[in-house]
C-alpha cells in the first residue's frame, strides 16, 4: 500500500452562513495534525469578533489517486496603480491566452463590483466563456472552489530554502500552487485573480502557456471585492467533469527547480 494522504478543508462562515474564509491542504497523514491547527486559527481570525462557525473536513486520499503536476514558472510585473495593472492583465489575457477583449473586461468588471450576483464576493471562482464572457457556473453565487491540492512536502522545503523565509508572502505560495492545478484543466485557457482583502493589492494572470504572472497592483486599496475568473473554451466544455476535477481530483504540485520562480 502507498503512503496515506489527507485532504483538509477549512471554511469559516458567519451566523447567516455567509462565507468568510476558506483554505485547503493535501498533506501526508503524519503531517495532518500539525496542519489542522493553522487552518483553525485562520478560520477564527477571519471571523474576528463576529459570531460564526469554522468547519473542518478531513478526508483520506490513497496515494494511487494523486496526480503530480509541475509548478508554473512565475514572474512579477511592476505597475504603478490598479488601472495600469488591470489594463496590462487584460492585454495579457487577450494577446497571449486567447481570451476575447469582451470576456477579459467582463471578468474585471465582475471582480471590481463583487462577482456574486446577489452582491459581494464568492466562495469559489467564476467560470467565464473565453469568447463571450458569459458566466457558466451552475450556482453563480457560490462558484467553483478548487480543493485537494498542495505543494508536495519536498517541494515546499525547496521553496522555503530558496526564499529563506523572505519574500514572497504565503499568499503567493498558496495562489501559485492552486494555479498549477487549474492550469492543467484542459478546457481552462487562463485565469485572472485578485484578493477580496481590501489591503492586499497584487493579483495574477496564469495559464499553461504564460505561467504565473504576478502584477504588483491589480485592485484599488480599500476595495473589499475580489475573485477568480477561469476562462473556458466552450467547444470542449463539460461542466460536471471540470467541476469534479477542480473540486475533488487530488493533485500535488512539484517544484523541481526553484529557479522557475526566481523572478517573482
Ligand atoms: P483570496 O485570494 O483568498 O482573497 O481569494 C480571492 C477570491 O478567489 C475569493 O473571494 C474567492 O472568490 C476565490 N477563491 C479563493 N480560494 C479559492 C479556491 N480554492 N478555489 C476557487 N476560488 C477561490
149-185 pLDDT per residue, tens? 999 999 999 999 999 878 888 999 999 999 999 999 9
Locate 111 and state its grid cell: 471582480
Regarding whether 193 and 235 lie in a shared domain, the answer is yes
User: Residue 1: its pLDDT value, please?
Assistant: 67
Regarding whether 228 and 147 lie in a shared domain, the answer is yes
Among 28, 46, 65, which residue terminates a domain?
65
Q: How many structural domains compose the chain?
A: 2
Regarding whether 108 and 27 lie in a shared domain, the answer is no
| Count of Cβ atoms closer than 10 Å to residue 250 Cβ | 20
Give me the sign of the Cα torsion angle 7, 123, 135, 107: negative
Locate 194 and state its grid cell: 485578485
Regarding whether 155 and 238 lie in a shared domain, the answer is yes
Q: pTM of whole model > 0.95?
A: yes
Regarding whether 247 and 202 lie in a shared domain, the answer is yes
Regarding whether 243 and 127 lie in a shared domain, the answer is yes
Regarding whether 143 and 87 lie in a shared domain, the answer is yes
Residue identifier of the C-alpha nearest atom 3 of ligand 1: 195
Burial class (CB in 10 A: 0-12, 13-18, 19+), 219: buried
- Preceding peptide of 259 cis, ω within 30°: no
Regarding whether 29 and 55 lie in a shared domain, the answer is yes
Among 65, 100, 115, which residue terminates a domain?
65
User: Residue 75: its pLDDT value, please?
Assistant: 97
Among 29, 49, 65, which residue terminates a domain?
65
User: Residue 169: its pLDDT value, please?
Assistant: 82
CB of 196 sitting under 6 A from ligand 1? yes
- Going residue by residue through the chain (264 aa), what tens digit of pLDDT does each one get? 688 999 999 999 999 998 999 999 999 999 999 999 999 999 999 999 999 999 999 999 999 999 999 999 999 999 999 999 999 999 999 999 999 999 999 999 999 999 999 899 999 999 999 999 999 999 999 999 999 999 999 999 999 999 987 888 899 999 999 999 999 999 999 999 999 999 999 999 999 999 999 999 999 999 999 999 999 999 999 999 999 999 999 999 999 999 999 899
Are the CB atoms for 54 and 47 separated by under 8 Å? yes
Locate 107 and state its grid cell: 471578468
Torsion angle defined by CA atoms of residues 221, 123, 227 and 233, in that order, rounded to the nearest 10 degrees: 180
Regarding whether 134 and 118 lie in a shared domain, the answer is yes
- Quickly tell me which residue has 492552486 as its cell: 178
User: Residue 207: its pLDDT value, please?
Assistant: 98
- Which helix (H) or strand (E) is 84 found in, with range? helix 82-97
Q: In angstroms, what is the span from residue 35 Cα to ligand 1's centroid?
A: 20
User: Residue 86: its pLDDT value, please?
Assistant: 98
Q: Which is nearest to 255 in space by CA: 75, 74, 72, 76?
A: 72
- Quickly tell me which residue has 496515494 as its cell: 63
Regarding whether 18 and 45 lie in a shared domain, the answer is yes
Ligand 1 pocket test target in 113, 196, 202, 215 with most atoms within 8 Å of CB: 196
CB of 203 sitting under 6 A from ligand 1? no
Regarding whether 217 and 97 lie in a shared domain, the answer is yes
CB of 122 sitting under 6 A from ligand 1? yes
Q: Which is nearest to 211 in space by CA: 190, 227, 226?
A: 190
Q: Which is nearest to 246 in space by CA: 156, 122, 143, 152?
A: 143
Regarding whether 191 and 85 lie in a shared domain, the answer is yes
Name the DSSP letter for residue 83: H
Residue identifier of the C-alpha nearest atom 19 of ligand 1: 146
Name the DSSP letter for residue 236: G
Residues spanned by the domain of 23: 4-65
CB of 124 sitting under 6 A from ligand 1? yes
Q: In angstroms, what is the span from residue 176 Cα to ligand 1's centroid?
A: 12
Amino acid at each position: 500500500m502507498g503512503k496515506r494522504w489527507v485532504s483538509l478543508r477549512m471554511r469559516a462562515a458567519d451566523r447567516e452562513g455567509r462565507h468568510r474564509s476558506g483554505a485547503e491542504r493535501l498533506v501526508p497523514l503524519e503531517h495532518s495534525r500539525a496542519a489542522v491547527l493553522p487552518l483553525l486559527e485562520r478560520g477564527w481570525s477571519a471571523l474576528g469578533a463576529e459570531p460564526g462557525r469554522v468547519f473542518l473536513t478531513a478526508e483520506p486520499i490513497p496515494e494511487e489517486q494523486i496526480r503530480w503536476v509541475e509548478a508554473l514558472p512565475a514572474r512579477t510585473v511592476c505597475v504603478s496603480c490598479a488601472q495600469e495593472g488591470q489594463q496590462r492583465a487584460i492585454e495579457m489575457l487577450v494577446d497571449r491566452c486567447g481570451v476575447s477583449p469582451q470576456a477579459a473586461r467582463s471578468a474585471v468588471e465582475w471582480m471590481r463590483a463583487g462577482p456574486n450576483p446577489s452582491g459581494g464576493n464568492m466562495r469559489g471562482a467564476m467560470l467565464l466563456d473565453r469568447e463571450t464572457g458569459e458566466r457558466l457556473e451552475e450556482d453563480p453565487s457560490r462558484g467553483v472552489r478548487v480543493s485537494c491540492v498542495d505543494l508536495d512536502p519536498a517541494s515546499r522545503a525547496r521553496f522555503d530554502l530558496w526564499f529563506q523565509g523572505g519574500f514572497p508572502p504565503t499568499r503567493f505560495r498558496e495562489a501559485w500552487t492552486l494555479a498549477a492545478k487549474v492550469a492543467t484543466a484542459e478546457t481552462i485557457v487562463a485565469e485572472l485573480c485578485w484578493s477580496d482583502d481590501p489591503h492586499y493589492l497584487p493579483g495574477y494572470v496564469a495559464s499553461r502557456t504564460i505561467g504565473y504572472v504576478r502584477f504588483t497592483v491589480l485592485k484599488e486599496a480599500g476595495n473589499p471585492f475580489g475573485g477568480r475568473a477561469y476562462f473556458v473554451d466552450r467547444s470542449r466544455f463539460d461542466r460536471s467533469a471540470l467541476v469534479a476535477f477542480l473540486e475533488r481530483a487530488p493533485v500535488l504540485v512539484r517544484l523541481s527547480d526553484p529557479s522557475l520562480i526566481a523572478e517573482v
